[in-house]
Amino acid sequence: MTKAFRGSHSVIVTPFNDSGSDLDLGRLHAFLDWQLESGVPGVIILGTTGEFLTISDDERRRLVDATVKHAAGRYQVMVGTMNAYTASAVRYSREAQDLGADGLMIIPPYYYTPTDDEIFNYYKAICADVQLPIMIYNNPFTSNRDMKAALVARLTAAFEQVRYIKEASQDIARVFEIIEETHGVMNVFAGEKPVESFLLGAVGYVNPYGNYLPYQTTRMWTLLEEGRIKEAARIQHLVHKFDKIIAEGHPTYGHQCYSKALAAAQGYPVGDVRDPLTKFAALGEEGRTKVKAIRAVFDEIDAALIEIDGRAAA
């Protein structure tokens, strides 16, 4: 394996047309150009934020192909290839490799609450068929399984492709435990709390906020790399401020539509979410009021970056 992943990778929305009936590749290209201009080193498509559960196989192929071709080596492309059925996860992984993806992000089989051995065999089947670097994704809230450090170490030792993990268990100490248990072989990407994760050894960040603040949140991570921890923490505090506005009053993933509404508010329309998720239009005045409040926090972040660097968004 020759690919090395570091830094803040935006886990991006999937752009749809206005009716939501199909992909909108024109919107995708404009959105990807924005990511590139903002200094984002890579994107991750078809994650939870990318609504992978609503995407047909034909749309999946077209989306991966369009994203990889548009990247043309200018930034890295990781593809979410998870599925509850192992054979489908293998097929999606092989397809992404054939289409030129740089890496894969794969959560364990969801819904079934698999055992450690079932999880191990799932990744074993994928690794037997592809050579790309794999970022395993620990999110017990969607997979019904928390991959503890011992299991991560077992996977790391068994499969040379498994060298990255998105750690989103909300147990921040897990970052350090994984690094210790794998003797530093596993590269941890923060799934939350990037500042704290970095201080415990994380080398990157799977960043949902890159969908509407790509420069600002990428800069938050590069500030960490420069050793400017207080400045990065200042940006993270403001991110948490608007994140609280988004999440308030919504179920776990009921806020997904805000990612797309905020991207549109920043000048990059990407359509709305697909059913069964709540559409932004359905929120009415509540949604409009929250977006206005969130954008006021965006202004605070830009003002903070002007103080820190002398510039705001690219």
Hey, what are 260's tokens? 């797309």
Considering 166, 193, 260, 290, which one is annotated as catalytic? 166
CA neighbor of 33 nearest in space, from 86, 70, 88: 70
Q: What is d(CA 141, CA 252) in angstroms, rounded to the nearest whole number?
A: 9
CA neighbor of 131 nearest in space, from 164, 166, 154, 103: 103
* CB burial of residue 49 (10 Å; 0-12, 13-18, 19+): buried
* Placement of tokens 């921040």 in the chain: 172
Q: Which amino acid is at 168?
A: A
Q: H or E element: which one contains 157?
A: helix 149-158
- DSSP assignment, residue 16? B
205 in catalytic set: no
List Cβ neighbours of 128 (8 Å cut-off, separation of 6 or more): none
Q: Are 165 and 144 in contact (CB under 8 A)?
A: no
Q: What is d(CA 281, CA 271) in angstroms, rounded to the nearest whole number?
A: 11
Q: What is d(CA 189, CA 203) in angstroms, rounded to the nearest whole number?
A: 6
Considering 75, 122, 137, 212, which one is annotated as catalytic? 137
137 in catalytic set: yes
Q: What residues act catalytically?
A: 137, 166
